[in-house]
Amino acid sequence: MAGPFYFDHAATTPIRPEVGEAMAPFLGAAFGNPSSTHRWGREARAALDAARERLATCLGARADEVCFTSGGTEADNLAVIGTWRALRKGGRNAVVATTIEHKAVLAAVHQLAKEGGEERLLEVTPSGQVRAEHFDTVVRDDVAIVSVMWVNNEIGAVQDVPRLAGKAKARGVFFHTDAVQAFGKVAIDTARQPVDLLSLSGHKIGAPKGAGAMFIRRGTPIESLFHGGSQDRGRRPGTENVAFAVGLATAAECALREHDAECARLTALRDRLESAIRARVPDIVVHGVGGMRAPHILNVSAPGTDAESMLMALDLAGIAASGGSACQSGSVEPSHVLVALGVPAEIAGAAVRLSLGALTTDAAVARVAEVFPTLVAKARGFAAV
Ligand SMILES: *Cc1c(COP(=O)(O)O)cnc(C)c1O
């Protein structure tokens, strides 16, 4: 049980061996440009087309509804900014997002406010759920696009995306969901769920960092963020990253294949970890309880501790976790997600996110269950429990 133990799968995941193997030819001899008409080009084109088709199948989509991007951040920006820019002339000037979105969506929304858009934020309940009544009052027919993340990356809160997307549709409002943390954890089927745009990131599901994609339903107006070639139907100009497209499609297939078993396994481990910590730290605050939660994220605050010292102590004990999101680590700002939940500043400042995944074994959970309460006791200045 020596460790080290990786509990930061919401920040990034190890590349699956199948993904590395599937990508290898395209980092070697099969280096062609998919736009070339000679044999090298045709070989790359065939692999790219197949990857698009395979990823589309994973999403219940058609191949031309899949657009490859450089990751989740680009997909989120393209969805929010690209759709708003395409629709603003038609009198739909407002853009809506929840207060707990990833910064990639929130910053894109703020950018639109600078460009003359009207920014409206959707409140959430203390357990991180979008308030349906608030959604109905905010999402009116002057809204171009509404963005609601499927699974929150800090607390794991799951939204009822199909229902909210249906409400938006009924008002003619385009609906985007950041499904970066949701893929492989909740059932996604764009053939049955009325979302218009859906973002994915490779490195959260076992593909490399820098690989991403977006589902764009046929007929969704979107302006490209980049200008140049006509790759990806002009939605995403630039020579396609064939290797990463192949890697992403492979990772998505693997994640779906193991979906049921992995969700059951992670839920059991998460629950065991949560109750073990609660048994020895009875006043532990678990963020997001009371609502639907994804199986791989456990975000806890031990009152009287602070996240930075807890994370350092955990790291010394061989346990890698994070405070809030990786993008915010190093900043002293409390998490905007916990603030939106109404968590008091001193509790938010103690929040430690333990995120589970491929590297999470029984032994790893046992180790954290033992170490975490001991570190809390130390931080509180008591003798070890
Ligand atoms: C990681 C993450 C992103 C950003 O994806 P990148 O590929 O790292 O740019 C966006 N949204 C959520 C919910 C994430 O967890």
Token pair, residue 49, equals 């087309």
Determine which residue's CA is closest to atom 10 belonging to ligand 1: 72
Q: What is the mean pLDDT of residues 327-354?
A: 87
Q: What is the pLDDT of residue 334?
A: 87
Cα Rg of the chain, angstroms: 21
79-131 residue pLDDT tens: 999 999 999 988 899 999 999 999 999 999 999 999 999 999 999 999 999 99
Alpha-carbon distance of 347 to 353, in angstroms, equals: 13
Ligand 1 center–CA 210 separation, angstroms: 10
Residue type, 268: A
Alpha-carbon distance of 98 to 118, in angstroms, equals: 14
- For the chain, what percent of residues have pLDDT higher than 90? 93
Mean pLDDT score of the chain: 95
**How confident is residue 225, by pLDDT bands cut at 50, 70 and 90?**
very high
Point out which residues pair with 95 in neighbouring strands: 119, 145
Backbone angles phi, psi at 28, to 5 degrees: -125, -120
pTM greater than 0.85:
yes
Residue 327 is among the residues annotated as catalytic for this protein: yes
| Torsion angle (degrees, nearest 10) of CA 162, 217, 138, 338 | 60
Annotated catalytic residue, options 58, 67, 263, 327 = 327
Residue type, 311: L
Q: What is the pLDDT of residue 384?
A: 47
Token pair, residue 245, equals 């497209």
Ligand 1 center–CA 203 separation, angstroms: 9
- Which atom in ligand 1 lies closest to the alpha carbon of residue 209? 7
242: pLDDT strictly greater than 70: yes
**How confident is residue 134, by pLDDT bands cut at 50, 70 and 90?**
very high
Alpha-carbon distance of 262 to 244, in angstroms, equals: 24
Ligand 1 center–CA 179 separation, angstroms: 9
Q: Among 177, 181, 322, 325, which residue has the most ligand 1 atoms within 8 Å of its CB, making it the best to mutate?
A: 181
